[in-house]
Structure formats: C-alpha cells, structure tokens
Amino acid sequence: MTIVSTPRTPDERAPVGPRRSIIGTSWKMNLTSTEAGGYCDALRPLVADLLDRDLFVLPPFPAIWIARERLSGTNVAWGAQDVHPEDGGAHTGDVSAPMLADLGCRYVEVGHSERRRDHGETPELVAAKIEAIVRWEMSAILCVGETRRLGPAAALEQLLPDLERSLGGMPAGSFDRLVVAYEPVWAIGDGAVAAPPDDVGAVQSGIRAWLDARAPDGSAARVIYGGSVDEAIAGQLLAQPGVDGLFVGRRALDPVAFAAIARAPLPRT
C-alpha cells in the first residue's frame, strides 16, 4: 500500500488558534450522498456570516467526499464519525486516519455510546484511535457520558476515569486537537430531553478542571455538550460555565434547524 503523505510529530504540526466556541453535528447513519449534497447547499448561505465560532458536520463515510466538494472554502468544516487506529492493512470494512486526512477531514468522532454499545469499544481502543487522529493532524471529538440520570458529582465519578483511560495515549502538546463531547446516554434518542443546563454546566466545569490539571496544555481542549439539543435550549446551554459549544444530533438533520442552533448567542467574554 502506498500512502501519499506522512504524519508529523506534535512539534511539527501547524498551530491551532485559541479556544473558540464550536458547534457541530453528526448525521449518524442518515443522508445518502445525494441528500448530503442538498443539505450542504442549503446550509452554506444560512451560516456564511458566522465567523466568531467553529462549525462542522460529520457525514457517514460515503458522503464525506460530498462535504469536501460542497463545503471547501466555507466556514463549515467536515469530518468523520469513526476511524481505525491502524494506518492501513487487513482490516476489511474499516477506514484509516490517512484516508480521512486525504479527504480534508478536520474532526473525527470517537467513543460514542452507540459505538461502545454496538461494537464493544473500550476506552483503550478509543485511546488508540485518538492517537491516530492526532498523528494525522486532525482533531478528536471524544464522547463521554453516564448511562443513567445522576447528579453532577455522581456523573463525574463515572466520566473522569473514562477520560483518564481514553486519553492515555494523547501526545503531550496536542490537547488543542481535542474536543470532549459530554453526551449523557439517557439524553440521546427519540423522546429524550436535554440535561438541565445547570447540571450540564456543573459536569462540564468538572471536566474542564480535570483537563486543566491533566496536562500543561489541557486548557486548550474544548468541552461541548450533546444530547437532545434544539433551538429552544441552545442558548441556555452555551451560557453555562465550562460549555465551549454544542454537538447536535437528530434535530440538525434539518439544515434550517441546525443553522438556527448554530446562530445561538455566545456568552460575552
């Protein structure tokens, strides 16, 4: 197998800017390539003036090339919903980090609760995937969340050990390539509702404190909330301490709705 480019070490990476608010969506197993083209065409003009925050979409693998075609040169980045930890080899049906980097992906999601549930993914496997993502100069979106509704303190008791195991291979100096997506499992899916904004703020402030203490550049990582986000609650969530952005699920399958959420006011700095 021939790979046309090689990854760089953390010291050789292009610099990443200061921590900015970030709002994005994973389409999960929705939208064909044809439908993805229409979605991107509809979304572009609705968010073209949003230059004070980072935006992204994560299509299914077959539609990533469409996102590259329709979103290149815009303020909307694109990425993938998973990756294999190896750069190549006999891994039928899997997709590697160099393949995603070649498609211009900026973000790669790992550790979603559905991957853990349906594919038995462990934090150690997630850690190996993060290492590959960062090695190929992309940013990892690490999903963590408690399985049942708990108070913030009890939720953090579950989440922080998961973060420790999942970030074990995070190269020093690379936390600017990390987005932690707090997604309570009980707040995901049809009929679910978002976690109370105050609870979200408390949990995400705890994650932020852990990251700040974890590594010299841990404060460069961004912490976002996902789980039944919609237009009504987006602004309240963004106003909470420790919330650097939003990770929108099924509501964002409508580009008009996603644009409305993306336009939610950011807290004053």
Q: Considering the domain boundaries, does residue 8 fall inside one?
A: no
List Cα–Cα distances, 2 to 87, 88, 98, in angstroms. 11, 10, 11
Residue 106 structural domain: 20-262
Domain count, the chain: 1
Q: Tell me the C-alpha to C-alpha distance, in Å, between residue 212 and each of 1, 219, 239.
A: 40, 5, 20
Kindly tell me the sign of the dihedral angle through the C-alpha atoms of 166, 81, 96, 89.
positive
Give the model's pLDDT for residue 179.
Answer: 97
The answer to whether residue 71 sits within a structural domain is yes
The answer on pLDDT for 268 being more than 90 is no
pLDDT averaged over the chain? 91
- Domain for residue 12, yes or no? no
Q: Say yes or no to pLDDT of 2 above 70.
A: no
Active-site choice (109, 131, 137, 183): 183
Kindly state whether residue 67 falls inside one of the protein's structural domains.
yes
**Is 91 a known active-site residue?**
no
The answer to the question of residue 269 being in a domain is no
Task: Specify whether 121 is catalytic.
Answer: no
Q: Among the options 112, 121, 131, 137, which is catalytic?
A: 112
Question: pTM of whole model > 0.85?
Answer: yes
Once rounded to an integer, what is the mean pLDDT over residues 86-101? 97
- pLDDT digit string, tens, across residues 55-89: 999 999 999 999 999 999 999 999 999 999 999 99
Q: Say yes or no to pLDDT of 237 above 60.
A: yes
* Per-residue pLDDT tens digits for 16-53: 445 899 999 999 999 999 999 999 999 999 999 999 99
Q: Is residue 219 a part of any domain in this protein?
A: yes
The answer to whether position 202 is within a domain reads: yes
Average pLDDT over residues 97-115: 96
Domain of 166, CATH number, reads 3.20.20.70
